[in-house]
Amino acid sequence: MGGIGKTALALEAAHQARSQGWFPGGTLFVDLRGYDDNPATADQAVVALLDALGVRGADLPNTAARQYDAYRALLAERRERMLLILDNASDPAQFLPLLPGTDHHRVLITSRDRPDSLPVRLIDLEALDPVDSAALITHALHDADERDTRPACEPDALRELTSLCCHLPLALQIAAAMLRRRRRRDIASLVAEIKRAGDPTVVLDNGSRGTDQYGRSLVLRPVLETSYRRLPSDQARLLRLLALAPGAETGTEAVVALTGLDMDVAIGVLEDLAAAGLVTPMPTGGDVRWRLHDLVRAYGVGVVAGDADMREEGEAARERLLDFYWRWADAADSRLRWLPGRPEPERFADRAQALAWLDGERAGLVAAVQWAREEQYARGGVGLAACLGVYLRWRRYFDDWVTVAGTAREAAHRTGDRHREAIAWNDLGLALREAGQVEEAIDAHTHARDAFQAVGDRHDEGMAWHNLGGALRKADRVEKAVDALTRARDLFQAAGDHHREAGTWNSLGLALREAGRTGEAIDAHTHARDLCQAAGDRRREGMAWHNLGRALRETNRAEEAIEAYGAALEIRQEFEDWYWAGRTLENLALTHEDTHRPAGARTYYLQAANAYTRANAPTEAAQARTRAKELEA
């Protein structure tokens, strides 16, 4: 894309090659100005090249055909190898007539467009990595003043600045130039200015003055404008709409929903944009996701915002995408909750397919929920949020869950949807509890309970009592937890909901055990296990087996506990629930320690460490390995 550093790389490579003696015949450079309003033609370029080779004035042939003949003849006669750099070509017609016609010399061509139809070696340039971005600014400041200590004194601000520049070399150069001019101000002041503006191009272009070492103006927005103006209408439309998509990368199906195009048509246009350097395809398994550079995205959003018709088109596109996300997130959520005997959800044949889709779309799904802050997207955003809780809890993305549930609660309250607000309060409480914010979770579940009571939803009131009981238990208010969970159990029994009743029995068993009523806890977990088996709910059956094992261990019934943990482990491995598999393996290790079997305990700790590693829980994995090491003796 424009500003990625193509010319700088070509010239640096040429200088290094010359210094190493690769091109004793010298280097020819011509700027084809392919992205200016008046690009150079090959006929104009060949005259400039002949002039550099010493052919000018009366010696210059008087027709273009003869000029090309003279140019190629001169190159053919030169025995010393030369390098020809053809910079900023926008069309093969600009450079094809300039190729030497001999493989003795070498040619470097820079372009924002991929000439896929030609047998040339292509080198795609992407943004710099964060370390190199910081180094670019640091060197630029030190080259101007070796006493400039700002990069060393403000490493965090420097990293944030490079991120705001999206690691684009041109943007980084402009930022460095601004910092050189603002010698008495810190890096953080420029970071704050860019954040206030919202669009980095506004601050960088307003603060830009002068040229780079190649004499080119340091301006960013015109580079993006030039690339955009050259696009055919179908490509320009897709680029604008893709800029509105949530998340850094967008799946092909989501692009189809956003644009309303047929799949094949959308893929073709995306490939054209990729050839123009404006979109980057990111293969992920069997699918391709499409990444838009952040500065291109900001430019596209600005284009849409500046035109009433484009704003209307963009709003319709976002509605289509939100409907797409809601539909398939609901289907995936239904698959994750599915029990034998229930209707089969559409599209996803098993949990693995549902999880794979949710994993791929997670960033977009979470970001799309934030659209609920705008009134016209509130209903869709709240509905989408309700479909993500089970998944985010399963994958342990608790911060995302807090954000999603909190946004849904605010939107439902603002639109006066009291029932959905109650559901969102309940989801928010679960997310807060998992994130370790127990008191806030108790407050959220209390709000949920009162809201369900107010709308007369006794069934969901039971759910709120259940979750309130779980939060109270986490806060060590055990007797109150027992009371809340008993209330929930009674409501589910009255409603004939044996599935939720089983979950409540399980939670009640945990509270009873912590209250010292271990015998009652064993009965509660046994009851939960039996209800889960009857309902065919294998996942919750595994949870009941695990908790039954804990209660049995506390009553010194070690062999029965080991048997219960073994049943739990089998189910958790079946579901690839690696975090809770790790917890079960740790409890197996503890039980073996209780019965003076250190070798078995060490084996289970090591297995637990592996499970935690697979679950991306490095702290728990390290603790398990430490316990295993302590048992080596």
Please check whether residue 356 lies inside any domain of the structure: no
3-state secondary structure at position 84: strand
Residue 601 sits in a domain of what CATH number? 1.25.40
Answer whether residue 72 is part of any domain: yes
CA dihedral (523, 527, 533, 538) in degrees, to 10, reads -70
pLDDT of residue 633: 62
Instruction: Tell me, letter by letter, the H, E, C secondary structure of 143-211.
Output: HHCCCCCHHHHCHHHHHHHHHHCCCCHHHHHHHHHHHHHCCCCCHHHHHHHHHHHCCHHHHHHHCCCCE
> How does strand 287-292 pair with strand 249-251?
antiparallel
SS3 sequence, 552-592?
A: HHHCCCHHHHHHHHHHHHHHHHHCCCHHHHHHHHHHHHHHH
Strand order in the sheet with 249-251: 249-251, 287-292, 279-284
Same domain for 67 and 103, yes or no, is yes
pLDDT band at 474 (very low <50, low <70, confident <90, very high): very high
Exposure of 254 by Cβ count < 10 A (0-12 exposed, 13-18 middle, 19+ buried)? buried
Q: Which residues contact 306 (CB under 8 A, 6 or more apart)?
A: none
- Model confidence pLDDT, tens digit, residues 320-332: 999 999 999 999 9
| Mean pLDDT rounded to a whole number for the chain | 92
Closest CA to 400 of 412, 411, 391, 409: 391
Predicted confidence (pLDDT) per residue in 353-401, tens digit: 999 999 999 999 999 999 999 999 999 999 999 999 999 998 989 999 9
User: Over the stretch 185-210, which tens digit does the pLDDT of each residue have?
Assistant: 999 999 999 999 888 888 887 766 55
How far, in Å, CA of 133 to CA of 36, rounded?
28
Does 590 reside within a domain?
Answer: yes
> How far is the CA of 591 from the CAs of 135, 543, 546, in angstroms?
54, 18, 13
Answer yes or no: is 526 within a domain.
no
- Answer yes or no: is pLDDT of 222 > 90: no
Bridge partners of 291, per DSSP, are 249, 280
| Tokens describing residue 412 | 């439902």
Spatial contact of 437 and 471, defined as CB atoms under 8 Å apart: no
Same domain for 91 and 179, yes or no, is no
Residue 210, pLDDT score: 56
Q: Are 512 and 518 in contact (CB under 8 A)?
A: yes
Flag whether 372 is in a domain.
no
Distances (CA, A) of 213 to 11, 14, 173, 218: 11, 15, 11, 10
Which residues span the domain enclosing 591?
A: 577-633
- State whether 83 and 160 are in the same domain: no
Q: Using an 8 Å Cβ cutoff, are 610 and 573 in contact?
A: no
117: which 2 tokens? 């139809």
Which domain-ending residue is among 171, 189, 221?
Answer: 221
| Whether pLDDT at 46 is above 60 | yes
Asked, for residue 23, whether it belongs to a domain, the answer is yes
Indicate the residue among 190, 221, 252 that finishes a domain.
221
Could you give the CA distance from residue 625 to residue 606 in angstroms, rounded to a whole number? 6
Residue 413 and residue 391 in contact, taking contact as beta carbons nearer than 8 Å: no
C-beta separation of 342 from 372 below 8 A:
no
Pair 136, 88 in one domain? no
Sheet with 83-87, strands from edge to edge, namely 27-31, 83-87, 106-109
Residue 3 is predicted with a pLDDT of: 87
Residue 238: closest CA among 247, 228, 249, 248? 228
- 196, two tokens: 């206030």
Confidence band of 218 (pLDDT split at 50, 70, 90): low
Element (H, E) at 291: strand 287-292
- pTM of the full structure: 0.76
16 and 96 belong to one structural domain = yes
Tell me: do 215 and 139 sit in the same domain. Answer: yes
C-alpha to C-alpha distances, 8 to 53, 145, 286, nearest whole angstrom: 24, 22, 36
**CATH code where residue 88 lies:** 3.40.50.300
| H-assigned helices in 286-388 | 294-305, 308-337, 351-369, 378-386
Domain stop point among 77, 109, 141? 109
The CA distance from 433 to 435, in Å, is 5
Predicted confidence band at 102 (pLDDT cuts at 50, 70, 90)?
Answer: confident
CB 249 within 8 A of CB 209: no
Does residue 18 share a domain with residue 102? yes
Question: Which pLDDT value is given to residue 612?
Answer: 95
- Unique residue bearing structure tokens 């989408």: 384
Residue 88 lies in a domain: yes
pLDDT at position 296 is 87
Q: How many domains does the chain have?
A: 3
Same domain, 89 and 151: no
Residue 155 lies in a domain: yes
